[in-house]
Structure 1
Amino acid sequence: MREVGDGRAVGLREDFEADELRRLAAKVKDAAQARRLLALAAICDGMNRTEAARIGGMDRQTLRDWAHRFNQYGPDGLIDIKPTGRPSKLSDEQKDALKQLVETGPDPEKDGVVRWRCVDLKRVLGQRFGVDLSEVSLGRALKKLGFSHISARPRHPVQDPETIAAFKKNFPTQVAAIVTKLAPETPIEVWFQDEMRVGQKNSLVYQWAKKGSRPRQPKDQRYENAYVFGAVCASRDTGVALIMPQADTEAMQAHLDAIGKAVAPGAHALLILDKAGWHTTRKLKPPANVTLVPLPPACPELNAAENIWQYLRQTYLANRVFASYTDILDACQDAWRKLLAETGRITSIAARDWAIIGQPF
């Protein structure tokens, strides 16, 4: 029997030697558990309770308590047990109902609101189950159910979800039809194209600030603006952009010519873009190494360039006042150059599983 303490002996289990306990202490991630393992290793070497307890940063009685835990549960018994706290006021059935309620969203006619707030859910739970939860407790319950208070993504009112799914599913078929018209073994690149208007009437975005405060940012009311024509290729982590005074056929033609020059030598680009008037006009003459692939209507989620614009606005362009048109041009140029300089940034934003194809096809 190994003795713990200078008084009454407490036997330590015999299946762990001092060296093994020290090896475990070096591997575990819990610092408190490591200290307790080292203290018990000292006991195994014959050290008295006072000195061993000092190694573990505890008193002698606490060391005895941990010795009992170790005897019963082994090294895992030396980990602090987190208190469970008060039991939830919501049963599992009520939690499922709350989850369904949030996922479905409110009915403006029935519930009187267009989005759920904690105060609204508190009222509904009280009426349906007779449960009285504070708004703070309800917020914690929602987080445990996997919800977070986030901004919604816009959706076109006439959008058909099945159309989006069909486009993704049929994309390889579209590619195959285009490839049959190309030389054998031609490498294929997928590009996304779109335009972004940047002007003096600029946007404000979320920012980190002290809780309870309402940070202020300048908001211009003038109307000078420019258009950034941008296209990105996720597989090559590259892009090409032009800053134009207006969005029209002439500007689009110039951008197509620039994209054609940016495509890798010998490769062919599939340019995915929406059906704006200056994208679909017969006056456009795409370069020989570029094929336009129009998106279905009201489906901006399919265009990865939309996410590029979101990143540029939130990182470089929002929360600013532009003194002149020249300042707008300079800011757009600087933002695009910074985007290209961030290795892997375009790929991380614009890569889409359904648009990944072999090289060559």
Structure 2
Amino acid sequence: MPSAVPLRTDFSAGELRQLAKRSKDNNQSRRLLSLAAVLDGMNRTDAARIGGMDRQTLRDWVHRFNEAGPDGLLDNWASGPASRLSPDQQAELAAIVEAGPDWELDGVVRWRRVDLKRVIAERFGVDYHERHVGTLLKKLGFSHVSARPRHPGQDVEIMEAFKKNFSRALSVHLAEVPEGTPIEIWFQDEARIGQKNGVVRQWARRGSRPRQPADQRYENAYLFGAICPARGTGAALALPQADTEAMQLHLNEISRHVAKGAQAVLLMDRAGWHTTTNLDMPNNITPIFLPSRSPELNPVENIWQYMRANWLSNRVFESYDAIVDTACEAWQKLVAQPNTITSIGMRDWAHVGQSQ
């Protein structure tokens, strides 16, 4: 058996244990503890077991420690061969991925690894295996995710201008409200809930395909919902249809939930039953209409997602009454969680200047 490699002595066993305690690298910590045991006089076979290694591996780490000190006990994995794409080419590839494919030019509506393999070969003259294209994309900061739907007529600049100028618009809309009146920001929307229900993701064993009931009937109701994120409260009605009469009932319900003496600013989309002059707007509600085709500005859309994911999807409703009962029960569960309403509904651009 070869003789033991002498261990440098400019660190004491106690110092090595303190370093192991402070280290955020588990592998470095266990190696430091093994070397501390050696300095305490323990035989090297037993000292190696403390660090979960054999004597020969401990000998290798002693060499590393003697050369570089505690830093020598960190894992130093080889970085592998250099990428065949230069940094500039990688940046160009990232821009191509972010821009997405051109249907006329590329013949696809989304990038697949096989498509990008072809693009890399044609543009940069580098032929990667399809699997390595995925590895390269991850190194460039990309992951395979689901896209969010967007209306094709949506104008992002209008949406950004609405948010930027909301404080000014709020002052204009509230010009007739007495100074000092508390202001509440409310958001309103409707959701169809019915027998033709959706299914949501769930945990299941890898490789399995879990099944959930999916009704094909068409009975449905509409849940009119509004939230005040700052107060963590809301007001809702389950109604048979979405029209002016139903909207009037919901406005009256919201009005009853506004704090006494406060003025509610109600943000909602431009559905016909929202904008009609046939509505009798309660005195304590000031409506502001969101830009067209911009559901992202309305957090009630996110409330619907939360409710469907937790209480409404993966279910079969036997009748209209069952739909209404379930919708009401789900809303009651929501308003029993004011922190959830606040967390989902607060928008920095909207919740400014809430008191005159």
Deviation at 1:153, TM superposition (A): 1.8
CA 1:355–1:72 in 2, change beyond 3 Å: closer, same or farther? Answer: farther
CA contact (8 A) 2:5 2:59 kept: no
Partner AA of 1:10 in structure 2: P
Deviation at 1:246, TM superposition (A): 0.5
Question: Is 1:69 paired with 2:64?
Answer: yes
**Separation (CA, whole Å) in 2 of partners of 1:218 and 1:80:** 51
CA contact (8 A) 1:10 1:64 kept: no
Question: Is 1:7 paired with 2:3?
Answer: yes
**Separation (CA, whole Å) in 2 of partners of 1:264 and 1:195:** 23
- The equivalent position to 2:110 in structure 1, one of 108, 115, 135, is 115
- The equivalent position to 1:39 in structure 2, one of 9, 29, 34, is 34
Deviation at 1:250, TM superposition (A): 1.5
Deviation at 1:83, TM superposition (A): 4.1
Corresponding residue SS for 1:344: helix
CA contact (8 A) 1:6 1:48 kept: no
Q: Which whole-Å deviations, capped at 9, do the CAs of 1:82-134 have from their partners, x for residues lacking one?
A: 34345444432332222111111111111111111222222222222233333
**Separation (CA, whole Å) in 1 of partners of 2:74 and 2:336:** 47
- The equivalent position to 1:137 in structure 2, one of 128, 132, 156, is 132
Tell me which residue corresponds to 1:183: 178
Question: Is 1:357 paired with 2:346?
Answer: no
Tell me which residue corresponds to 1:237: 232
Tell me which residue corresponds to 2:97: 102
- The equivalent position to 1:219 in structure 2, one of 203, 214, 217, is 214
Deviates more, 1:106-115 or 1:204-213: 204-213
Partner AA of 1:68 in structure 2: H
Tell me which residue corresponds to 2:146: 151
**Separation (CA, whole Å) in 1 of partners of 2:117 and 2:242:** 49
Q: Which whole-Å deviations, capped at 9, do the CAs of 1:7-45 have from their partners, x for residues lacking one?
A: 35524151x322222122223233322221112222333
Corresponding residue SS for 1:162: helix
**Separation (CA, whole Å) in 2 of partners of 1:209 and 1:129:** 42
Aligned residues: 356
CA 1:106–1:66 in 2, change beyond 3 Å: closer, same or farther? Answer: same
Question: Is 1:201 paired with 2:196?
Answer: yes
Deviates more, 1:119-128 or 1:105-114: 119-128
Tell me which residue corresponds to 2:332: 337
Corresponding residue SS for 2:221: strand
Partner AA of 1:199 in structure 2: G
Partner AA of 1:113 in structure 2: V
CA contact (8 A) 1:13 1:71 kept: no
Provide the alpha-carbon RMSD of the alignment: 2.3
CA contact (8 A) 2:223 2:238 kept: yes
Corresponding residue SS for 2:165: helix
Deviation at 1:308, TM superposition (A): 1.2
TM-score, reference length from structure 2: 0.91
Unaligned runs of 5+ in 2: none
CA contact (8 A) 1:37 1:75 kept: yes
Mapping for residues 231-310 of structure 1, pairs under 5 Å: 231-310=226-305
**Separation (CA, whole Å) in 1 of partners of 2:229 and 2:68:** 52
Tell me which residue corresponds to 1:52: 47
TM-score, reference length from structure 1: 0.90
- The equivalent position to 1:228 in structure 2, one of 223, 232, 252, is 223
CA contact (8 A) 2:251 2:281 kept: yes
Deviation at 1:325, TM superposition (A): 0.9
CA contact (8 A) 1:228 1:243 kept: yes
Question: Is 1:126 paired with 2:121?
Answer: yes
